[in-house]
Amino acid sequence: MIELKNVRKSYPDGNSRVEVLHDVSFEIGKGRYAAITGPSGSGKSTLLHLIGGLEPADTGEIRVAGKPVHQMNDTELARLRLEDVGYVFQQFQLLPTATALENVMMPLLATKPPKDLKVRAKQALDRVGLAHRASHLPSRMSGGEQQRTAIARALITQPKIILADEPTGNLDTETGSRIISLLEEIHRDDGATIVLITHDPSLAERAEDQIYVRDGKAEKIIGVQ
């Protein structure tokens, strides 16, 4: 489902460039639940951005759902982000002036919205246990509720892959654990491939695969469960 081959990524640093990822190669199989761990600044978010087509790699090959991300133009990348991948971020990234329901509808408003969009958004909110919060603004919801809304927003496009960047980073331990249980449930019931960045070893251990990023390299530990 996700395949990286000899991927390199650098960023500008003054007059030169600093290479964050050197020659990274690994695969994550269809329907697997993988955790990415590693020290702060090691390149975990960068790796997720490359997989999700948010940023280009310098060199190497990236295939997502069988499609060559490294060869895509902007239109194809936009379609990948819309159709194949759902994102969940540490800071939730909800629109503050929109209700929970409107936030969940948002990804499909940019395209030709399906006629039953509102019904689908309500179902997605119900799925994450938030049917009763549909008309609330993010500021009137707890952190856990905001992250559930963000997960419902990721689910509205029925993505094959969910990329979650430290989704529990702004939550207390118990709320964070419930968010991880929800992602596990989506993985189990929908067969979605989940890639989770976490600093918490106990959360990483709950994943089927672990990818450890350090010194610009990624080492995969296969079949932990």
Ligand X SMILES: Nc1ncnc2c1ncn2[C@@H]1O[C@H](COP(=O)(O)OP(=O)(O)OP(=O)(O)O)[C@@H](O)[C@H]1O
Minimum gap (Å) between residue 124 Cβ and ligand X:
27
Minimum gap (Å) between residue 38 Cβ and ligand X:
6
Residues that bind ligand X (CB under 6 A): 11, 20, 38, 40-46
* H or E element that contains 22: strand 16-28
Contact criterion met (CB below 8 Å) for 58 and 52? no
Minimum gap (Å) between residue 209 Cβ and ligand X:
18
18 class by beta-carbon count within 10 Å (0-12 exposed, 13-18 middle, 19+ buried): exposed
The residues, ordered by sequence, that sit 6+ positions from 75 with a Cβ below 8 Å of its Cβ are none
How many CB atoms lie under 10 A from the CB of residue 219? Answer: 12
Tell me the residue type at 98.
A
In this complex, which beta carbon is closest to ligand X, that of residue 12 or of residue 96?
Answer: 12
In this complex, which beta carbon is closest to ligand X, that of residue 136 or of residue 212?
Answer: 212
Minimum gap (Å) between residue 90 Cβ and ligand X:
8
In this complex, which beta carbon is closest to ligand X, that of residue 43 or of residue 107?
Answer: 43
Tell me the residue type at 101.
L
In this complex, which beta carbon is closest to ligand X, that of residue 20 or of residue 94?
Answer: 20
